Amino acid sequence: MPWNAEHKARTRARIVDAARRLFNRHGFQEVTIERIMTAAGLTRGGFYHHFDSKDALYAEAVASYATCNPFVRGQRTRKRPPGDPRLLARSMVRLYLSDEVLADDGLHCPLYALPSDIARAGPSPRAAYTALIRGMMRIHRRALAGARDADRRAQAIVSLCVGGMVLARTTSDPALCASLRRAARRQALALLDG
């Protein structure tokens, strides 16, 4: 008897979650389908019931960050999310560059966890990555509504957040790691307030 649609959707979500965490930690090339399925508590044989290829799963894993990231999860747990787009954007900058987010490599944003992998990936993962950039920019552009240079500032804020985390994540010096994120946070918040 075939599984019902709800069971299939839950299983697919488990695969995507396991893949996202593994890709973030190890990159696309180092993670096998078997490893993903094992992490999801499934056998390799079931993979192709859900995905046509590892590349298709990679694209979905990258795209999934838009709904499972620490910022979105935090907004869901609040009784009332901040209504002011500027407050929302400010809290996103603070969380994105936080110690908490840096410490949880399973939930790292693909924008800073996977840029080299994505640069070598096919069109589907690159499109998912591009959608994440645009989504992050949209949040900051809303916060800057009315400013004539809102697009430029939103792009700069995203660049500061992502670049700050890329550099912080790759340095071996804890003081430099903290300082880079502090500087990026300060500049990003100044752009929101300016």
| CATH number of residue 164's parent domain | 1.10.357.10
pLDDT of residue 76: 57
Task: Mark whether 172 and 122 lie in a shared domain.
Answer: yes
Does residue 71 form part of some domain?
Answer: no
Q: Summarize the chain as % helix, strand, coil (round to 5).
A: 75, 0, 25
The Cα–Cα gap between 69 and 101 comes to 9
Task: Mark whether 100 and 146 lie in a shared domain.
Answer: yes
Does residue 56 form part of some domain?
Answer: yes
Residue carrying structure tokens 């299939």: 8
Task: Mark whether 82 and 167 lie in a shared domain.
Answer: yes
Task: Mark whether 133 and 57 lie in a shared domain.
Answer: no
Could you tell me the residue range of the domain that residue 119 belongs to?
78-193
Per-residue pLDDT of the chain (194 residues; tens, 9 = 90+): 566 788 888 999 999 999 998 998 898 999 999 999 999 999 888 899 899 999 999 999 988 887 766 666 665 566 655 578 999 899 999 999 999 989 988 778 888 888 888 988 889 999 999 999 999 999 999 999 999 999 999 999 999 999 999 999 999 999 999 999 999 999 999 999 97
Does residue 151 form part of some domain?
Answer: yes
At residue 173, the 3 state secondary structure works out as coil
The Cα–Cα gap between 163 and 181 comes to 9
Task: Mark whether 100 and 189 lie in a shared domain.
Answer: yes
